[in-house]
Amino acid sequence: MKITFLKWGAVSLALLVSATGATTLLAQDQSSSPSAATPAQEPEKKADPSIAQRKENQQDRIANGVKSGQLTPSETANLENKEAAINKETRTDRAANGGKLTGAEKTQINQQQNQMSKQIYADKHNANTAHYGNNKVGQRRENQQDRIAQGVKSGQLTPGETAKLEKQQKGINKQVASDRKANGGTLTASQKKQINKEQNQASRNIYKKKHNAATQPNAKKPN
């Protein structure tokens, strides 16, 4: 009888250990699984890489044209106004579709960028070029264009900001051309002083727009 008691005691102990282990495993499984009241976080939505890359490529081409003088301020302002309109349409479409673009919207934007690409090429290869001249006025104009081009390429300047800056440069250039025509191709001392004053204001505008909060998505931090 004593031996039988020991056998049944061993069996009971084994069953108890087995039940305890199963309970522990069940508790671990329940703790490792996500709670039904806490859904998994959705991945962050990112812009369509093809759309974003296309925008960056267009801006790089415009920046190169500005720096080389192939694009005049007037041509640049026109291109950037159109690029700003495409960007605005893209944002509106995304907002209406929870941050995404439909297939039809992507096709439409791509067609618009194709048209932009053709116009950039045409403007960079036509007879209109930015002539700066080997003088202080010409050098100042070239410096301003170089700063704008750098801002476009780095993403510090948005298309809308670039268009406004180039419109300002266009106005100064028009004034210079008018003054030269009225004085046989030269500028008087007072005219040079006035133009330098206007370029000082333009310079401040360039700085402000390059260092404000408005930037392209992949903008590099200013030095």
How does pLDDT run along the chain (223 residues), one tens digit per residue? 444 444 435 444 443 444 445 444 334 444 444 444 444 444 444 555 688 899 999 999 999 999 999 999 999 999 999 999 999 999 999 999 999 999 999 999 999 999 999 999 999 999 999 988 889 999 999 999 999 999 999 999 999 999 999 999 999 999 999 999 999 999 999 999 999 999 999 999 999 999 999 888 766 655 4
CA distance to 51, 58, 111, 193, per residue, from 47 (Å): 7, 17, 18, 47
Q: What is the pLDDT of residue 220?
A: 64
Q: What is the pLDDT of residue 133?
A: 83
Q: What is the pLDDT of residue 33?
A: 43
Assess if residue 140 is contained within a domain: yes
Assess if residue 91 is contained within a domain: yes
Q: What is the pLDDT of residue 215?
A: 87
For residue 85, which of 126, 62, 122, 55 has the smallest C-alpha distance? 55
**H-helix segments, the chain:** 2-32, 49-68, 73-96, 103-124, 136-154, 159-182, 189-210
Q: Which residue is associated with the tokens 């039809």?
A: 104
Assess if residue 127 is contained within a domain: yes
Say if CB 99 and CB 45 are below 8 A apart.
yes
CA dist., res. 212 & res. 206, Å (int): 10
Assess if residue 62 is contained within a domain: yes
Range of the domain at 165: 49-210
Q: What is the pLDDT of residue 128?
A: 93
Q: Which residue is associated with the tokens 């903008």?
A: 219
Q: What is the pLDDT of residue 5?
A: 41
For residue 163, which of 205, 118, 112, 222 has the smallest C-alpha distance? 205
Assess if residue 150 is contained within a domain: yes
Q: What is the pLDDT of residue 46?
A: 53
Contacting residues for 192 by C-beta, under 8 A, at least 6 apart: 136, 137
Q: What is the pLDDT of residue 218?
A: 64
Q: What is the pLDDT of residue 49?
A: 60
Assess if residue 90 is contained within a domain: yes
Q: Which residue is associated with the tokens 């349409």?
A: 89
Q: Return the axis-axis angle of helices 136-154 and 49-68, rounded to nearest 10°.
A: 170
Number of domains comprising the chain: 1
Assess if residue 56 is contained within a domain: yes
For residue 141, which of 193, 176, 108, 180 has the smallest C-alpha distance? 176
Assess if residue 217 is contained within a domain: no
Q: What is the pLDDT of residue 47?
A: 53
